[in-house]
Structure formats: structure tokens, C-alpha cells
Amino acid sequence: MTTAPPIPVTVAAGFLGSGKTTLMNELLSNAAGRRLAVLVNDFGELNIDESLIAEVTDSVQALTNGCICCSMQGELINQIGMLATRKPTPDHILIECSGVSEPARIIRTLGYPELRPVVRLDSVTTIVDPTTLSDLEDEYAELARAQIGTADLLVLNKTDLASDTQLQAIRGQWLPRNLPVVETVACQIPPALIFDSQREQDDIAEPLPHAPTNHGFDSWHITQPGMFQLKALRRMLDQVSGDVFRIKGHITLAERPGEWFWLHWVGGRTDMRAVQNSAGMAENQIVVIARQRDGLRDRLHGDFQNCLAADSHIDKEHR
């Protein structure tokens, strides 16, 4: 009996809002006949990224309510084991890390003895947002540098939104000279850069001890009935506190009743796109990831409430 070769795995890392989910969808949309499976992890109780990727493929497994690099290691091992027993077996596994993850710990997990016959780490791709990276300080900058330093390939994304000054600063101060860099708009890269790469395998066998790695992040979600007024919502999002890193979710608007939209906010920019499959969406669901600051949750929840249309029911319950 012939033993199946290990399934190649690509790990996609990068700070919050850099474009990891966009890259996943780009690869899935250009799979060229490859059978791809996706493991997606979001920091918090509501996995918006899973829903976004599921609009492209149903081969998605979610690793929720924790950071994949520490508390989710056991679940990661179990999910990979389940994927490896699928018939037909996936040709490639994509792992989208949470924006608060340190990829080194995931790499270590993939080298555990129980996984080495099953999967092979093919590459680590880190996505970089040049419009926000230079603004990071202290432990947040440290985390971003760790994500970059672990990469085999760097994707300098959103180059259409960055100024020449920002791009020069990122190239000179953040990107290692010995790593290949591809500059992109919306993570549009040749799939061969991901699927035809192969990382030199490390001799890794022993688990790392658990270590807290939240880096001072706070995450919560807002469940809000009613419909938002578009102008009021955009005005509010234009004034979001600098303590907020990421806002994402699905919402409905008073100007477009009956339709649902994906909401993305990062670095002061707001993007809303129509949801392709809104089955099961009954309330606005919004995830916020921010620095740990007293009172920030209540203030932001109140700001969202103030953007509701006048006849919307206001629900003050939030987490």
C-alpha cells in the first residue's frame, strides 16, 4: 500500500486589516483545478472571515474564539487531521491566521510528530499594509515585525492606497532585504507564487510551552437590530478613535432595505460590499478589535446606536 505524501500547507499571516482574507479569496478564485481546504481563525467570538471565505468555497473549517498561535493549537491539530481524511484529499491547505497571531508558534505546531506524516509546511506568506504599518508602536509594532520576520514571501498590499513616501518608508524600515516581496493591489498575485513554492523543512519536534500572546488586544462584537443610515455611519467611522485597529461585520442600511453588506474599516478607510449569500442574517453583527482601553466598548457601541435609522429598534445588549 502506497502512503500518501504530506499535504502542503500555506500559512497566511499579517497584522489586522492587512488583507489576509482577500488573499485567501484570490487563491480560491484562481485555484486552477486544485482541491483547496481553508482553516480560518478570527480573534474573538464572531468569525466574520469564515463567512467571507465561505462565499467562495464550502471547504472552510473555522477555528474560533481564540488565537490560533496559543490557545487553539489542539483544535488546529484536530482540524488538520480531519482534513487529511477527506476523500478526495485536499491538494493544498491554506491557514489564515488571526491578525494577532505570531506565525512562529503555528510553524512549530505543524512540525509536531503527529502532523509531520500528514502535512508539510510549504510556505509562510505575510501580507503588509503600508498605509498603517508605520503607525504601529510598542508591542503592536513588535508583533508586526515578528509576522514579517517569519515569512518566506512578503505581499506589500494596498499599494494603490499608499503614498510614495509611505511605500519608501516601509521598504526601507520594515522589509528585510533577503526576502522576496511582491507589490499588489487587493492581493492580486500569480497563484504560482504560493502553490509552487517549497520551504526548507525545519527539524521541529517538541511543543512550545503555552505563552500568552494577546499583546494588549481587546475584541468584542455588537449585535444590533435595525438599519443604519449610510451618511451617519460613514461620518461616525471617519472619526473612529485611533485605539481601534479593525471593524468588520455584516450590516443592513435604511437606504437599501432587504439587502446586506460586508462592512470593513481599517486605517480610517471604510469599505462596504454586497453580501452574496445573506441566508440566516437577521441582525447587524459587528466585530471590533482595539487596544485595551477603559470605556472604549461603551463609547463605540453608543456611536453605532446613534447611526440607526429613527424607526430602528435599539438593543443595548452588547459584548
**Whether pTM exceeds 0.85:** no
Tens digit of each residue's pLDDT (9 = 90 or more) over 1-32: 457 889 999 999 999 999 998 998 888 888 88
CATH topology for the 7-195 domain: Rossmann fold (3.40.50)
Per the omega criterion (within 30 degrees of 0), is the bond before 113 cis? no
Tens digit of each residue's pLDDT (9 = 90 or more) over 207-257: 434 344 445 788 888 998 999 999 999 999 999 988 999 998 999 999 999
User: Can you state the angle between helices 73-84 and 103-110, rounded to 10 degrees?
Assistant: 50
Question: Is the separation of the CB atoms in 195 and 125 below 8 Å?
Answer: no
Cell (9 digits) for 308: 440607526
Tens digit of each residue's pLDDT (9 = 90 or more) over 74-110: 778 888 888 888 888 889 999 988 888 888 888 888 8
Residue in this structure with the C-alpha cell 499583546, named with its chain if needed: 215
- Domain spanning 217-305: CATH 2.40.70.10: no
CA distance 141 to 124: 19
Cell (9 digits) for 62: 473555522
CA distance 38 to 76: 12
CA distance 227 to 248: 16
The domain spans of the chain are 7-195, 217-305
Side chain identity at residue 124, one-letter code:
V
